[in-house]
Amino acid sequence: MQELKTFLINKVLLFESDTLLPETEKILQKIRREKPGNPVIYLSSGTSSIIAGSEKTSSAIKAHISENGLAADFIEVGCTGPSNFEPLVCVHLPGKNKLFFRNITEEKVEPLLNGVFHNDLSEEDLAGQTGTRGFEVWPGIPFMDELPFFANQKRVVLSNCGCYDPESIEEYIARGGYRSYVKAIRHYTFEEVCDIVERSGLRGRSGGGYLTGLKWKHALNTSASSRYLICNAKESDPGAFTDRTILESDPHRLIEGIAIASYAIGASSAIVFMRSGSDHAKNRLQNAVEQARQYGIFGHNIFSSGYNLDIVIRIEPGAFVCGEETALINTLEGKRGMPRLKPPYPTSSGLLGKPTVINNVETLMNVPVIMHNGPEWFRTLGTENSPGTKVFAIAGKGRMSGVVEVEMGTSVRKVLEDIADGIREGREFKAIQLGGSSGSFITSENLDVKIDYESLRERGIGMGAGGFVVIDENTCMVDLVRYYMEFIRNESCGKCIPCREGTGRMLEILESVIRKPMNEESGTTLERFKGVMQLETIASVMKDASLCGLGQNAPNPFISALSNFRDEFEEHIFDRKCQANICRGLRSFSIDVEKCTGCTACEAKCPVNAIYGTRLQPFFIVEDKCIGCGVCFDICKFSAINVK
Amino acid sequence: MGTEFDLILKKYKQGKREDLIPMLQEIQEQLGYLSEEAIVNVGSYLGLSTTKIYGLATFYDRFRFIPSGRIHISVCNGTSCYINGSQSVINKISEEINVQPGLTTRDGNFSCEIVSCMGGCHNGPVINVNGEYHTFVKASQLPELIKKLMYIIEND
Amino acid sequence: MLFTIQVNNKKIKAEKGETILSALNRNGIIIPTLCRMKDFTPTGACRMCVVEVEGRDRLVTACSQPVEEWMKIRTHSPRVIQARKTIVELLLSNHPDDCLYCERNLNCELQNLSEELNIRERRIRGKKIKPRLDQSSPAITRELSKCILCGRCVRVCEEVVTANTLDFIKRGRNTHIGASMDRDFNFSSCVHCGQCLIVCPTGALHEKHSITEIQEYLNKPEILKVIQYSPLVTAGIAGELGIKHNKYADRILNAILRKIGFDKVFTTGTGTDVCITEISGQLLEKLEKRTASPLYISACPAWVKYCEQFMPSQIPMLSTVKSPQQITGALIKTIVADQNKVNPANIFSVSATPCLAMKFEARRDGMMRKGISDVDSVLTVRELSRLIRLYGIAPSIIEPEAADEPLAGRSSSAVLAEVSGGLTEGILRALHYKLLTKEADKQLFRKLRSSGSFREISMAIGEYEVKAAVVDGLTGLGKLKTSINSGKSYDLIEVMVCPGGCVHGAGLPFSSARADVRSRAKLVYQTDDSEPVNLPCKSHHLINLYDKLLKENSEISDKKIFYTHFEKRNVLL
Ligand SMILES: Cc1cc2nc3c(=O)[nH]c(=O)nc-3n(C[C@H](O)[C@H](O)[C@H](O)COP(=O)(O)O)c2cc1C
Ligand code: SF4
Ligand code: SF4
Ligand code: SF4
Ligand code: SF4
Ligand code: SF4
Ligand code: SF4
Ligand code: SF4
Ligand code: SF4
Ligand code: FES
Ligand code: FES
Ligand code: FES
């Protein structure tokens, strides 16, 4: 091991020429397991795999190998992308193309591996094959990269994900990793690195789209005794999991990005600010940091360059708003995570008053690639003003879901129809929700909009951080807006009035729309209507006057839903109906006289005494009184209660 | 108890407020929650008023001030799980274990919390019971699950 | 550097580095604010002060945004007014609507804003905040549902008082202001200075009332009702009652108080003279013994509690002399009781004071003799003015009356004690006279009369080089510590919790509390200059007390009633 480390450092990392020696390449090829002598079994092992049961699959595979005395290697890799294929197993038989099998739960391991090793493949579980020249092709089996899910992606940031063992720095180095960093600290000045990134046109991927190189220069040009780089891996939008996937699948690339960025701004401390509850991601990252430290990526006078850098991982203690940069800084300083006034901006006075750059995970993941391939190459990807790619976490009602990456400029339709493969069986498409709780909806009229900062902004849509939720007809938009508003109301830090009170009022008004009035006083139609009239004023003042992005963007889902689905709102308000049948409060209940035995069970349980009748005679529900709670429906043993 | 704190506190520099959150996190990991004693200890170690520590800790969702239950259930309420019906799962769980999310039952058997996106969106609604994931959860399955868990507790 | 900005289409001059708000205010444009406090860094929490700046997507907060050359600002455009109005409406939407019953009725910033912004209809309805009332503290009542979370109290308690008793608890809509572990106030480290209360814009924080209790006693014929009031009370109340504050004001107040039903009216100043005399005695004793440790003046009850909690090691150095209020109270329950031949248990003794912490002090351990407390009830100046109005007395046509003997008069040193540094000056003046039998030149104390949170003085009095320090507001404690650590030592240390001293006390009327503390201090110095009797030992009331009354009464001739004791306090710090 020690030998391998010395070799990798001297012959790869510190090797001065861009092309490595052929004998070095040979060894690296082996590390990369390009032409394995023994069969290799790969299992993807991200959180989404674990949730789907991959840990049990893993034990089953190990047991199978040892019980059968197979001369096979077993490697757990990161996430390949399609989470509906999880647990995803790949088998690489020497000399043949790799075969991928989907949904291999524990009990399928035995038959699968028996089949593979005895040339008896089960069609049902097969996802596809991949291979390079020189390997034997499996006849009649589709190629993975020709599946629409992959064919329409452009995996730059995710290029390593699912391809290597995230717990092995050796593999990362063998795949070209850390060379850009070593080159940067040994041969470039701070400014030069900033320049390269600025020229590449890379923009912050957390949603705002600020030019990364420019931000770095601000910090670099602020004179100070020390500076900080913070990687914002907070990611806690409900329904987002791109950063986590990256941390689990390619932690070393992120570390390299952080290291290069730190160098670029002359920071000697870097901090990764992670969301809580992602233990798997944290362990992987922690392990990767340890390995990197052993390899001298961090430390004092790194590779004799005179540059010092260390890194710490901090776990966020649970508040959405502390993803906002100034709140994040407060959290790191041991204070309540409430946003601060800007100016001063973090680049001039951030953590402990020092210039601080805060970058998103995905932003930093682009940095090593840019350093390696050059800014001009990066500009060939994507559009003029939004070069590069964008990673999305597709979730919701699409047929495929998972973490995907497309070139900027790709249309939303393509992502929906080709990559996500449309809506699940038998349902109608309704909308795409982009950008989570502060994002907006894209309906079928807008599906052709191109994913880049300008095109989206033109239509009033924010790029967001990568949430891409597919919504079908079975989702009620009013309820969904209420859901986002509830989330934001709970997450508002409470500092400023428009956001703290505004989110509360908006939520209460939306709740009054989807709920039947408990009593006349709190919710006559007129009151409800008055409330709705105020929603738009409150929303506009929140956008205009809130202190931070949370409050400013909180009304977005509402505004966007109202303009796209006005009829649905009106139906709720005036007709008191929910077509998607989601809003429980609007259901109307009645008793089927034929079926009712008059057992009195429902009468006893109705919380508002809306049920009347005489014992052993059919009962009836007074509609005006009923609040639609559904208790009677659940309690009736004779299915005598109808819901509409 | 005293030494237990001391061991944790000693790892940190005295009087450095930036270490407050990591300290509290570590104490919570060991103790399961933040006791008043813990807060007082941290306060005198860092030279911070306990008001400020309590104010900070209550800002964040992850800090608890009562021990969690023997069985701790986290329910995902991320967007994807929500549109797949997590709300009814949450309601059912609260109803079955008879305690609101964020709290612990009086007998200390159950506690439940809501989290946003666990990362298994395709399999939603997702819940996690003492570290073990359950996928595609339906409200109707819960009474049985809770009964099973009760059985485990009683026979432990 | 001055430059031009454009406001509402007019050019005005602004100074580089200042905020939009300060530029506007200087030019006579008023912008409502709510979370802002003068001399504090802005937090931007309330968003009331928003203005429109051309080229900015969103409104900006005038209280925090620095001006830039040629900024084009609109301060009252429809967009701005809508935002401000909506913000207030949002606050009102879940507010308890309790104005008629509220402490701050007619004196509430929220009420004023809603009036100014012409809010005439409830357009936004919200779930009301659940009421929570904390009356556990002897001095302060908290009504959490009236809090608008402006954070001013938190900042004052942290940055001015340094007690760190208050903070925001929880997040978002659940946020509220509270003490450690969200316990009620009596368990907290609050020193009852009330500084938080004077900055609170609403009725969320106010003093604990004693009016009802006092009214009850005023109706009891068998009880001897007495009141003492401290020198600043007259100054504080004059404005409220619409009387001129001159040398007759005290006598008018005496008459009013008698009309209300007090049988005896005393001045706390006599007690202050006792306090000065006793402490100067302790100081002399200390100087004679040449002990190294300092003597801390313990007249400020908030400071005493602070010391008991945060600096228990210093408790032995606290002067055991009671505060003026308690000394006066003790004299009332002994000498006055004797003179009037009433059982002390049948005396109801009230104190009116600009200090909130005195409410707490009256309830302290050690402020009782034989189960009878020195002071039964404490009124703030605000409460006193309310009480007077309640009894429908027109001060303009009242005949002035003298206070009651034996506690009817004082020296001007007793007035001086109301400003920070004044007690020290009085004690040193008394010492000077005692040792050298001549009055010290007031010029010598110039250093004590300057501003700043820490002041020191060193003066030769006879054979002694006396060194004294004044901590004016608790932020000065840090400087005191630094100074001591650097090897300096002091004989006498005065600590006052309210910056500026009792002239900044939280019991003074809100309207004048916001007026300049310095102008009130000036008034105090003027009194000291204009009055003939500057030294306690020259006040015949004090002479009478020491030479006659104390000696006549064997029970108190040991002067023990002037002394108390202090103990370490166990509260959550
Ligand atoms: C309420 C709120 C939450 C945020 N959460 C995140 C987050 O979870 N992750 C993130 O990278 N940026 C988040 N941001 C954006 C950050 O403030 C910051 O702009 C970003 O980390 C900068 O990175 P970039 O320049 O690489 O895009 C959030 C912003 C706001 C207003
Ligand atoms: S907008 Fe919301 S989250 Fe941001 S500071 Fe204001 S209250 Fe806090
Ligand atoms: S749904 Fe049934 S139980 Fe509920 S209020 Fe209506 S009638 Fe009563
Ligand atoms: S529970 Fe069902 S059967 Fe019994 S009275 Fe109600 S509707 Fe009729
Ligand atoms: S705080 Fe002000 S607005 Fe609120 S009830 Fe009192 S007077 Fe009225
Ligand atoms: S102000 Fe209006 S509401 Fe209040 S007491 Fe007078 S009339 Fe009644
Ligand atoms: S009274 Fe003084 S010590 Fe108590 S909370 Fe208010 S400011 Fe703090
Ligand atoms: S108690 Fe008063 S000063 Fe404190 S935050 Fe509430 S309203 Fe503001
Ligand atoms: S400085 Fe005066 S008013 Fe303030 S707490 Fe002390 S004694 Fe009371
Ligand atoms: S972990 Fe495999 S698809 Fe995400
Ligand atoms: S939303 Fe529940 S796992 Fe993502
Ligand atoms: S006064 Fe400016 S934000 Fe409150």
Residue identifier of the C-alpha nearest atom 6 of ligand 7:
C196
The answer to whether residues B35 and C148 touch, using CB atoms and an 8 Å cutoff, is no
Same domain, residue pair B82 and B50: no
What DSSP string describes A214-271?
A: HHHHHHHHS--S--EEEEEE---STT--HHHHHHHH-HHHHHHHHHHHHHHTT-SEEE
pLDDT in tens, B50-62: 999 999 999 999 9
Subunits with at least 3 CB pairs below 8 A relative to chain A? B, C
The answer to whether residues A60 and A106 touch, using CB atoms and an 8 Å cutoff, is yes
The answer to whether residues A419 and A425 touch, using CB atoms and an 8 Å cutoff, is no
- CA proximity to A278, closest of B87, B72, B74: B74
- Tokens representing A245 are 């996937």
Structural domain count of chain B:
2
Inspect the interface and report whether the beta carbons of C79 and A544 lie closer than 8 Å.
yes
Residue of C166, C168, C180 with shortest CB distance to B50: C180
| Euclidean distance between CA atoms C168 and B56, whole angstroms | 8
| Euclidean distance between CA atoms B72 and A144, whole angstroms | 40
The answer to whether residues A499 and C88 touch, using CB atoms and an 8 Å cutoff, is no
- Determine, yes or no, domain membership for B65: no
Which of B65, B74, B80, B84 to mutate to probe the A interface, most A CBs <10 Å?
Answer: B80
Inspect the interface and report whether the beta carbons of B59 and C164 lie closer than 8 Å.
no
List the alpha helices (DSSP H) in A68-200.
106-117, 148-151, 169-174, 179-187, 190-200
DSSP for residue C209 = P
Residue ranges of the domains in chain A? Answer: 30-148, 177-379, 389-472, 477-575, 589-643
| Euclidean distance between CA atoms C525 and C95, whole angstroms | 44
**Residue C205 CB–ligand 8 contact under 6 Å:** yes
| Euclidean distance between CA atoms C357 and C230, whole angstroms | 14
The per-residue pLDDT for C395 is 83
- Determine, yes or no, domain membership for B91: yes
Instruction: Compute the distance from residue C42 Cα to the ligand 12 centre, in Å.
Output: 7
The CATH topology of domain C213-562 is: Rossmann fold (3.40.50)
Same domain, residue pair B148 and B108: yes
**Residue C50 CB–ligand 8 contact under 6 Å:** no
Q: Give the residue from B39, B59, B79 where a domain finishes.
A: B59
User: Mutation test of ligand 1: which of A200, A212, A324 has the most ligand atoms closer than 8 Å to its C-beta?
Assistant: A324
pLDDT in tens, B33-89: 999 999 999 999 999 999 999 999 999 999 999 998 999 999 999 988 998 889 989
- Tokens representing A337 are 């995570």
Give C148's contacts in chain A (Cβ within 8 Å). Answer: 497
- Min distance C163 CA to chain B CA atoms (Å): 8
Same domain, residue pair B76 and B139: yes
- Determine, yes or no, domain membership for B42: yes
**Residue C111 CB–ligand 5 contact under 6 Å:** yes
Instruction: Check pLDDT > 60 for residue B1.
Output: no
| Euclidean distance between CA atoms C516 and C514, whole angstroms | 6
| Euclidean distance between CA atoms C159 and C478, whole angstroms | 12
Residue A529 amino acid letter: F
Strand partners, C492: C295, C468
Q: In Å, how far from its chain's centre is CA C139?
A: 12
Same domain, residue pair B75 and B49: no
Same domain, residue pair B43 and B109: no
Read off the CATH number of the domain in which B21 is found. Answer: 1.10.10
Quote the crossing angle between the two packed helices C231-241 and C268-289, to the nearest 10°.
150
Inspect the interface and report whether the beta carbons of B49 and C168 lie closer than 8 Å.
no
Q: Which residues of chain A have pLDDT under 50?
A: 522-523
A353 CB within 8 Å of a chain B CB = no
- CA proximity to A375, closest of A192, A250, A185, A182: A192
The per-residue pLDDT for A581 is 82
CB pairs under 8 A between A and B: 133
Residue of A239, A480, A484 with shortest CB distance to B117: A239
Same domain, residue pair B38 and B85: no
Q: Give the residue from B11, B30, B59 where a domain finishes.
A: B59
| Euclidean distance between CA atoms C301 and C323, whole angstroms | 8
Strand partners, B76: B115
- Determine, yes or no, domain membership for B44: yes
**Residue A489 CB–ligand 2 contact under 6 Å:** no
Strand partners, A43: A76, A89
Residue of B44, B49, B59 with shortest CB distance to C164: B49
Q: Taking the domain A177-379, which CATH number applies?
A: 3.40.50.11540
Strand, helix or coil at C247?
A: coil
Quote the crossing angle between the two packed helices B36-46 and B2-10, to the nearest 10°.
40
The ligand with the least distance to the CA atom of A517 is 3
The answer to whether residues C348 and C224 touch, using CB atoms and an 8 Å cutoff, is yes
| Euclidean distance between CA atoms C535 and B152, whole angstroms | 82
Could you tell me which CATH class the domain A477-575 is placed in? Answer: mainly alpha
C339 CB within 8 Å of a chain A CB = no
Q: Which CATH architecture has domain A589-643?
A: 2-Layer Sandwich (3.30)
- Tokens representing A365 are 């993941």
Residue of A51, A335, A397 with shortest CB distance to B135: A51
| Euclidean distance between CA atoms C243 and C252, whole angstroms | 9
The per-residue pLDDT for A580 is 86
- Determine, yes or no, domain membership for B64: no
Q: In Å, how far from its chain's centre is CA C79?
A: 41
**Residue C14 CB–ligand 8 contact under 6 Å:** no
Query: Any residues with Cβ below 6 Å from ligand 12, and which?
Result: C 33-36, 42, 44-49, 61, 63
Give the gyration radius of chain A's Cα atoms. 28
| Euclidean distance between CA atoms C416 and C430, whole angstroms | 13
Range of the domain at B47: 3-59
**Residue C37 CB–ligand 8 contact under 6 Å:** no
| Euclidean distance between CA atoms B27 and B38, whole angstroms | 8
- Name, in order, each residue with C-beta under 8 angstroms of A594's C-beta and a sequence gap of 6 or more: A640
The answer to whether residues A601 and A552 touch, using CB atoms and an 8 Å cutoff, is no
A487 CB within 8 Å of a chain B CB = yes
Q: Where in chain C is the domain with CATH 3.40.50.1780?
A: 213-562
End-to-end CA, chain A: 69
The ipTM assigned to this model is 0.93
Mean pLDDT by 10 residues, chain C (573 residues): 93 94 94 93 96 95 94 96 97 94 93 95 89 94 96 96 96 95 92 95 96 95 96 88 84 94 96 97 94 94 96 96 96 94 95 96 88 94 94 87 92 95 96 93 91 93 94 96 95 96 92 70 91 93 92 87 93 83
The per-residue pLDDT for A644 is 77
Same domain, residue pair B114 and B54: no
Backbone angles phi, psi at C9, to 5 degrees: 70, 10
Kindly state the helix (H) or strand (E) to which residue C266 belongs, with its residue range: strand C264-267
Kindly state the helix (H) or strand (E) to which residue C112 belongs, with its residue range: helix C109-116
- Determine, yes or no, domain membership for B32: yes
| Euclidean distance between CA atoms C279 and A133, whole angstroms | 99
CA atoms within 13 A on the CB side of C4: 5
- Express the helix, strand and coil content of chain B in percent, nearest 5 each: 50, 10, 35
Give C165's contacts in chain B (Cβ within 8 Å). Answer: 49, 51
Same domain, residue pair B96 and B146: yes
Strand, helix or coil at C321?
A: strand
Inspect the interface and report whether the beta carbons of C59 and A496 lie closer than 8 Å.
no
- CA proximity to A75, closest of A171, A144, A176, A2: A171
Residue of A244, A317, A393 with shortest CB distance to B63: A317
- Name, in order, each residue with C-beta under 8 angstroms of A417's C-beta and a sequence gap of 6 or more: none
The per-residue pLDDT for A81 is 86
Inspect the interface and report whether the beta carbons of B117 and A83 lie closer than 8 Å.
no
- CA proximity to B21, closest of C189, B52, C476, C121: B52
Q: Which atom of ligand 10 is nearest to the CA of A245?
A: 4
Inspect the interface and report whether the beta carbons of B39 and C171 lie closer than 8 Å.
no
The CATH topology of domain C2-76 is: Ubiquitin-like (UB roll) (3.10.20)
| Euclidean distance between CA atoms A150 and A144, whole angstroms | 7
The CATH topology of domain C91-207 is: Alpha-Beta Plaits (3.30.70)
Residue identifier of the C-alpha nearest atom 4 of ligand 8:
C153
Backbone angles phi, psi at A424, to 5 degrees: -60, 155
The dihedral sign for the CA sequence C435, C439, C445, C448:
positive
Residues A187-197, buried b or exposed e (16+ Cβ, 10 A)? Answer: ebebeebbbbb
- Min distance A48 CA to chain B CA atoms (Å): 4
- CA proximity to C328, closest of C35, C58, C72, C561: C561
The CATH topology of domain A30-148 is: Glutaredoxin (3.40.30)
The per-residue pLDDT for C240 is 84
Inspect the interface and report whether the beta carbons of C189 and B49 lie closer than 8 Å.
yes
The answer to whether residues A542 and A499 touch, using CB atoms and an 8 Å cutoff, is yes
Q: Taking the domain A389-472, which CATH number applies?
A: 3.10.20.600
What DSSP string describes A592-625?
A: -TTT-----HHHHH-TT--EE--TTS--EE-TTT
Q: Which residue has the higher pLDDT, C492 or B6?
A: C492
What is the phi-psi region of residue A167: left when phi exceeds 0, alpha when psi lies from -120 to 50, beta otherwise? alpha
| Euclidean distance between CA atoms C355 and C505, whole angstroms | 5
Residue identifier of the C-alpha nearest atom 8 of ligand 2:
A493
What DSSP string describes A15-82?
A: --SSSPPHHHHHHHHHHTTSS-SS-EEEEE-SHHHHHHTHHHHHHHHHHHHHHTT---EEEEE---SB
The per-residue pLDDT for A120 is 82
- Determine, yes or no, domain membership for B66: no
